[in-house]
Structure 1
Amino acid sequence: MTNRIHENLTYLADEECVRLVDRFFIITGHFYMASGKRNRKRSLWHPSYWPAWTLVCLLWLLSFLPMGLKQRLGGWLGRLLSRKMQSRARVADANLAACMPELDAASRGQLVEDAFVASARGVLESVHAWWRDMTPYCESASVHGTEHLEEAKRRGKGVLLIGGHYSIFDFALPLIACKLEKPGYMYRPNNNPVIDRMIERGRRRHFGIRSFTKRQIRPMLSFLKEGGQVWFACDQDFGKKSEVFVPFFGVSAGCITSPSYIARESGAAVICVSHLRMPDGSYRVVFSPIQESFGEYPEQDAEVWNRFIETTVREQPDQYLWLHKRFKSRPEGAAAIY
């Protein structure tokens, strides 16, 4: 069992999300080509990375656009991608058909397009977070549940923040981190080291955020034991690494048990967190109450965070990452979704 847990931990970051980012940049004509495997011996200035540097320069220039213009550009780009990325559009439609059977085909089609728009806007918001001042957004964001963070502090515990893949991801990181004393997060490095450098430098420039990869589980556990707070979005299908199946919108979804292991080994308090772009253009972050007894029963733990994510998604359904094959792994005997 211990070996299975450690194998599971080595797959914490989602390969499919990275591939989605790769495809996004390819289709939008940014000349970005992600290598299948990192070549750590190659200089970042090697000619093979020049297309990636071109992308970095373009995104840096886009970061200077006013946020309102970023939102309009994201709307146009999202609608374009919904027509160009047909395979992902079909994945999103299949997810919605399974999770929200009350929607007819036309309603699903509109929601698929809205999901592409939300994701495209999220990319441009991330660009803003990587290079521009986030102070105005940290000050104006509506944040609920910080008393639960204070309660964890009173108990002398670190905090494992369980989150989901919503459209404002990198943009949400400083919105969350500004409410934490020792912020950190789990991540999967991008295959292209130039792109990875851009993303990680952009993330870590806010509030002394510390990052942890799949090879840094022990340092992360120590960080939590010392009162650190780590954000971990664990709501993806990790294929063969899925250890339990629990309902997500009434559909059996493969879930990992790593969050339970991390909570148990570190003694950290577990709090669920959501982050949304509201219809009026504002941003909202919600911290749940501490999930008592988290870590004892992995299947129940997965049900806890799935229910929290469901509640959030039903409020703003376009902002979930429906483009991901959430139901790729199926229980024995269950019909395939895709």
Structure 2
Amino acid sequence: MIFLFRVLSYAPLSWLHALGAGLGGLIWALSPTYRRHLDENLTLALGETAARKIRSSAIAHAGRQAMELPKIWLRPQDEVIQRVVKITGWELAEQAMREGKGILYLTPHLGCYEIISHYLSRYAPITVMYRPPKRRWMQMLIETGRKRDGLQIATADLSGVRTLLKALKRGEAVGMLPDQAPKVGEGLWVDFFGKPAYTMTLAARLSESGAAVIMLWVERLPAGAGFHFHLQAPRQALAGSTENRAQQISHEIEALIRQCPAQYLWGYNRYKRPAGAEPPPGAGEKTA
């Protein structure tokens, strides 16, 4: 599998995206569970009419996201960052760096999120959190793809949390996917597109450090033309308790997704209930 990834990394991005669109359709057709999650989540968030209009595009973009990974992970860093052809809102990062603040970058599973840390690490050190996959070959690929100058990875455990806090105290940047379903004890139930979703509290707690919070997503441009970075300040400053901040972040993530809903990973089981977690408000004891 690693050899295949290396071969694919040499293919033009437009070819990979074309293959990815077909792969996305194949997975949707062959996996009832994936198909159910994608259809249910799309309809819940956008309504049946809007969901029907973008369903085929969302299916294709999910495949494109998977097929662009060899290009992002295994090509030289200079080549990877040259794929970023447009940036909106970069002044937010520049201001935070001038002020010597730590920066907390929050991005959903939207667009080409894997390129974010590669690009940002060229301007300032950044530490990103990830949860090690179960498959050893995937673990090796992730470690290879994210081992770049200025880029440090922290595992999703207590040691990783300490690493993130130290980075922010040094005035460095930290990045994470706050819409990733956490393990039991690492989250709480907050609203996400009108339905309770078990949501990590770590992003909310890190926002209490005084770091500048920047919402960020990367748009995948048509025909392999590259990527467009979108940096935005939260619509309202995060404040209040950890629960309040987690809810605010969830709504900020919704706002980003609405900007380009076709590029969100709707097939991700965002509403799952981790084993051992209390049921969501208003639900019974059945585990999802």
After TM superposition, the score normalised by the length of structure 1 is 0.73
Tell me the residue number matched to 2:176: 232
Cα distance 1:304–1:87, how it changes in 2: closer, same or farther (>3 A)? same
> Residues 37-186 of structure 1 correspond to what in structure 2 (within 5 A)?
55-103=1-49, 107-108=51-52, 111-135=54-78, 138-139=81-82, 140-178=84-122, 180-186=123-129
AA partner of residue 135 (structure 1): D
In 2, distance between residues paired with 1:119 and 1:134? 24
Contact 1:274–1:286 (8 Å) recurs in 2: yes
Contact 2:81–2:119 (8 Å) recurs in 1: yes
Q: Highest CA radius of gyration, 1 or 2?
A: 1
Greater mean deviation of Cα atoms: 185-194 or 58-67: 185-194
Secondary structure at 2:137's aligned position in 1? helix
Q: CA deviation at 1:294?
A: 3.4
Greater mean deviation of Cα atoms: 327-336 or 280-289: 327-336
Q: CA deviation at 1:141?
A: 2.4
Contact 1:260–1:295 (8 Å) recurs in 2: no
- Which blocks of at least 5 consecutive residues in structure 1 are unaligned? 1-54
In 2, distance between residues paired with 1:126 and 1:171? 9
AA partner of residue 89 (structure 2): G
Tell me the residue number matched to 1:18: none
> Residues 292-303 of structure 1 correspond to what in structure 2 (within 5 A)?
294=238, 296-303=240-247
AA partner of residue 327 (structure 1): Y
In 2, distance between residues paired with 1:237 and 1:194? 23
Cα distance 1:203–1:295, how it changes in 2: closer, same or farther (>3 A)? farther
Tell me the residue number matched to 1:22: none
Contact 1:270–1:291 (8 Å) recurs in 2: no
In 2, distance between residues paired with 1:198 and 1:282? 22
In 2, distance between residues paired with 1:236 and 1:73? 26
The percent identity for this pair of structures is 28
AA partner of residue 150 (structure 1): E
1:192 and 2:192 matched: no
AA partner of residue 115 (structure 1): A
Secondary structure at 1:245's aligned position in 2? strand
Secondary structure at 1:275's aligned position in 2? strand
Secondary structure at 1:65's aligned position in 2? coil
Tell me the residue number matched to 1:23: none
Q: CA deviation at 1:290?
A: 6.4
- Which structure is higher in strand share? 2
1:333 and 2:279 matched: no
Tell me the residue number matched to 1:212: 154
Task: Count the aligned residue pairs.
Answer: 278
AA partner of residue 63 (structure 1): S
Tell me the residue number matched to 2:276: none
Q: CA deviation at 1:277?
A: 0.8
In 1, distance between residues paired with 2:221 and 2:260? 8
Q: CA deviation at 1:65?
A: 1.0
In 2, distance between residues paired with 1:337 and 1:310? 25
After TM superposition, the score normalised by the length of structure 2 is 0.84
Which residue, 219, 224, 236 being the options, matches 1:276? Answer: 219
In 1, distance between residues paired with 2:188 and 2:135? 32
In 1, distance between residues paired with 2:186 and 2:160? 20
Greater mean deviation of Cα atoms: 321-330 or 294-303: 294-303
Cα distance 1:175–1:219, how it changes in 2: closer, same or farther (>3 A)? closer
Secondary structure at 2:114's aligned position in 1? coil
1:306 and 2:250 matched: yes
AA partner of residue 333 (structure 1): G
Greater mean deviation of Cα atoms: 242-251 or 210-219: 242-251
Secondary structure at 1:142's aligned position in 2? strand
